[in-house]
Structure 1
Amino acid sequence: MTNAHHMLTYICEQPAEKKLFWSGNTICNGEQTIIHGWSKNAPPFILPKDVGFAVGRNTPYKYIVVNIHYFSLLKNDYSGNQLILTHKSRKSHAGVILSGTNQIYLKENTQTIRTPFSCQYKGPTISIFAVSVHTHQWGRVNSLYRVHDYETSLIIKMNPQNPQSFYRLLLPIEIKNNDYIMGQCVFDNNLNKTIHIGETHNDEMCNIYAMYSYNPSQKSINNPPPFPLCWDNAVTQMANLIPDDSVIPPLQLNYINQTIDDEQYISHIKHSMNSSRDLPIIIFNQQNYFIIIITILISFLILLIIGRCMGNLQYFSYMRHGDIINRRKGFQILKQSSDQENDLLD
């Protein structure tokens, strides 16, 4: 985390610039969906089996753009993500709900500042299976809830000061047509100045990302995911149902699957790559490049040693072969001399 504060990966209809690299806050033009977010040395995240983001042909998304927020301007940095692109279709498509609010005004020396948001969902049933939260240094706790048939259920409550990435829920949460989504970010400002919304570390943000799966119909395959955004407080009366304990951060992530061991990761890779048509896409980081360089150097040294050994062997063979030739010539000379002497005697 010495180089980048956070990193966001998007799939886009068009990139904001016609360049491989550019600076600025613009990421995509046209349709766009965030597919991963990372901050604070968070652990890796993998999608569930048979779930994937639809990209490429017959979808709105033709490009992948990685947006990195650096602590300072760097040269020769290789921060990035590792992605897998496969031609195998997935049973379920993935989408991400970006929820939060722009209504952030953190008055100086003020604690427990709430910034609620809410919306109503209209669409096919979706299943939330992973979440990620994001604020800057003043965030205390982010929470997200579902209201279904007048019953409120907690989806996620997390401390945004912990490592930020997508975390798998122990149990998926279904969101059905006409359900409500509501949530809030809670802030504490102990400074003698007011903090406003913004993307720099001197500003604040309130974001909760909910990753979900859904079964695409034939009509929706070419369309964006059904629930891209839940922003600001569209349904004020629903936000009033947010529980009082939402201001208290959890002691631990006891309802979230935090860890992914190596066996799970390898198994996921094998499952995704078990077709000869699959193609891995790797955006290398510094460690990848270091390993590649060392491997190339070792291979070069091995080839050099083998080449020298082969050269010595050829030289030795040549010398031995030369001795044989010389001996044969000597034998022929001696034989000719002997024949001449016999002729004289005759």
Structure 2
Amino acid sequence: MMEAGVIETSSGFAVDTIQRLGRFVKFLFHLFFQRKFIVHRLVGLSYLMQYALSFYWYFKNYETFKHSFVIWSLPLTGLVQSITAALTFTFLSRTKTDPGYYSDRGTLSYAFIVENSFFSGLLLFQWLYYSDFFYSYINNSIVIDNLIVFLPYILRQLWPKTHFRDSLNNSDKNKTAPNKNFYFIVTMVTKMFYVWAKHYIGYFLNYVRFFDRANPQQIEYIYLLLVFSAFATTISVFLHTLKFDSQPCDNMDRSMTIYEWYYTIPAVQWPKGCFYFAPFLYVVIQIQYFPSIINDVVYGEKIVLIRERPKYTIGTYQIVTNSIEIQKTRAEFSCQYRSLPMQIFSIELYSTYEGKSISLYRVRNREVQPIIKGNLQWPETFYQVTNPVDIIASDYLIGTCLYETMPSTYSPNALSEVICQINARFWTEHDDEIPMEICWNNHYSRILNRYLPVDEQIVPETHYLILIQHIQK
């Protein structure tokens, strides 16, 4: 009896172990080989494998490490990884000042993703600079040698910059109360380490190599420092980006407003069979009712939660501009769509400055299709598109925001501030990739000037008139 029990227990343990191993393998496969962000994931996987190999070689046989390919391939892959991240996560907020790295209730900002490529480039230079093979080539190139050794932060101005203080100032929003003190300490420790690393690793070690004052044993210890720096610069950020299983919300918080409408604003009808993918642990529903302005009319909400994958998926496509003409009366945007087909069914209009109107058109085969023309006095919410408009690759999207003459003191930040923005809600086939690109600024002015309708300067009716018409109907 006891022996049978032992055998049964051992068998059950073996089965459980196999199942756990199978789930782990499935998890790893999903983590690195799913279609979403596949290039970014594969480059990151390549970096992890090279990092493990370099770590092993360094402690096993330093001579093998010193003459191996990882001396150049590891930091180069790190730079490529940072570039793929910048090209992949373009949907991240470009106006968010908080880097979002040390928080448990937010995501990274796009500026933080982009600026990481600068530090990856500096790290690549240092790996090659301390290599006996590459040192002679770099030392003979006077421009590169002197520029990066003595003036690296002159080049730094070409990259966006985030600040630790913005993360601390935003603690009430990006950190939960139980973890606020922990993240405060971690942020301060990292800030002090960064100040030390900037001067010691970023400057001093380059000076030492420039004057050829490091002996072989010191170079060995410096490479150990560079190995750990590779983890901090690339792996930590890569692991942080792996949580992007889908496009997050516009404000880059870990919560999103799936749907909203304002008092007396007609509700948006979602296409049948379309659902919004919400990869969250909790779903909070808040509904507030007002007395109806029409007798015997009751407004309500219908919310359906499903576990099955729907046939169609809802997404949001951003059309943004931060450029404005010298006359300061209009902001223009134009771009060419390059992703898979989508159907736009509702639009949200946004402007940082009180203006007159906003318009959006599709150009295909030399024909112009209006999508929406809105009044910037309307409440900021989603509005139903009269007829859903399909967008396919190679289509052009053009439009304008019209303003009264702005005050002379108004000076937008050319690098970040959004002047005008359209959030287009669309549906697409579930098997298709959700478009991650952003229509940014006026890159196809020739198309815009040629096809923009002459009546685009006519301002639509105010929300009050639309409301009266809606009541009469």
User: Which residue of structure 1 lines up, in the alignment, with residue 438 of structure 2?
Assistant: 229
Query: How far apart in 1 are the matches of 2:354 and 2:174?
Result: 22
User: Which residue of structure 1 lines up, in the alignment, with residue 276 of structure 2?
Assistant: 53
Unaligned 5+ segments in structure 2 are: 1-90, 94-99, 107-169, 176-239, 251-256, 285-300
Using a 3 Å threshold, how does the CA distance of structure 1 residues 237 and 208 change in structure 2: closer, same or farther? Answer: same
User: Which residue of structure 2 lines up, in the alignment, with residue 238 of structure 1?
Assistant: 447
- Indicate yes or no: 2:373 matched with 1:157: yes
Query: How far apart in 2 are the matches of 1:139 and 1:170?
Result: 23
Cα RMSD, aligned residues only: 4.5
Cα offset for 1:116? 1.0
Query: How far apart in 2 are the matches of 1:235 and 1:213?
Result: 26
Question: Is the partner of 2:455 in helix, strand or coil?
Answer: helix
Q: Which structure is higher in helix share?
A: 2
Among 400, 404, 413, the residue aligned to 1:184: 400
Relative contact order (alpha carbons < 8 A, sep ≥ 6): 1 or 2 greater?
Answer: 1
- 1:41 touches 1:163 (CA, 8 Å); kept in 2? no
Query: Sequence identity, in percent?
Result: 25
State how many pairs are aligned.
218
Question: Is the partner of 2:386 in helix, strand or coil?
Answer: strand
Question: Is the partner of 1:154 in helix, strand or coil?
Answer: strand
Q: Which structure is higher in strand share?
A: 1
Using a 3 Å threshold, how does the CA distance of structure 1 residues 23 and 260 change in structure 2: closer, same or farther? Answer: farther
- 1:51 touches 1:94 (CA, 8 Å); kept in 2? yes
- 1:42 touches 1:163 (CA, 8 Å); kept in 2? no
Match of 1:178, as an amino acid? S
Using a 3 Å threshold, how does the CA distance of structure 1 residues 260 and 208 change in structure 2: closer, same or farther? Answer: same
Using a 3 Å threshold, how does the CA distance of structure 1 residues 55 and 124 change in structure 2: closer, same or farther? Answer: same
Match of 2:381, as an amino acid? S
Among 194, 199, 216, the residue aligned to 2:410: 194
Match of 1:100, as an amino acid? V
Question: Is the partner of 1:238 in helix, strand or coil?
Answer: helix
Question: Is the partner of 1:196 in helix, strand or coil?
Answer: coil
- 1:101 touches 1:207 (CA, 8 Å); kept in 2? yes
Query: How far apart in 1 are the matches of 2:92 and 2:467?
Result: 26
Query: How far apart in 2 are the matches of 1:260 and 1:193?
Result: 40
Cα offset for 1:47? 2.9
Cα offset for 1:236? 2.0
1:189-268 correspondence runs (5 A): 189=405, 191-196=407-412, 205-217=419-431, 220=432, 223=433, 225-226=434-435, 228-240=437-449, 241-251=451-461
TM-score, normalisation: structure 2: 0.38
User: Which residue of structure 2 lines up, in the alignment, with residue 18 of structure 1?
Assistant: 104
- 2:360 touches 2:397 (CA, 8 Å); kept in 1? yes
Query: How far apart in 2 are the matches of 1:62 and 1:164?
Result: 28
Match of 2:277, as an amino acid? A
Question: Is the partner of 1:246 in helix, strand or coil?
Answer: helix
- 2:316 touches 2:426 (CA, 8 Å); kept in 1? yes
Query: How far apart in 2 are the matches of 1:165 and 1:38?
Result: 7
1:1-346 correspondence runs (5 A): 17-19=103-105, 22-23=171-172, 30=244, 31-34=247-250, 43=265, 45=268, 47-56=270-279, 85-104=305-324, 113-189=329-405, 191-196=407-412, 205-217=419-431, 220=432, 223=433, 225-226=434-435, 228-240=437-449, 241-251=451-461
- 1:41 touches 1:164 (CA, 8 Å); kept in 2? no
Cα offset for 1:86? 2.7
Match of 1:54, as an amino acid? F
Cα offset for 1:244? 2.7
TM-score, normalisation: structure 1: 0.51
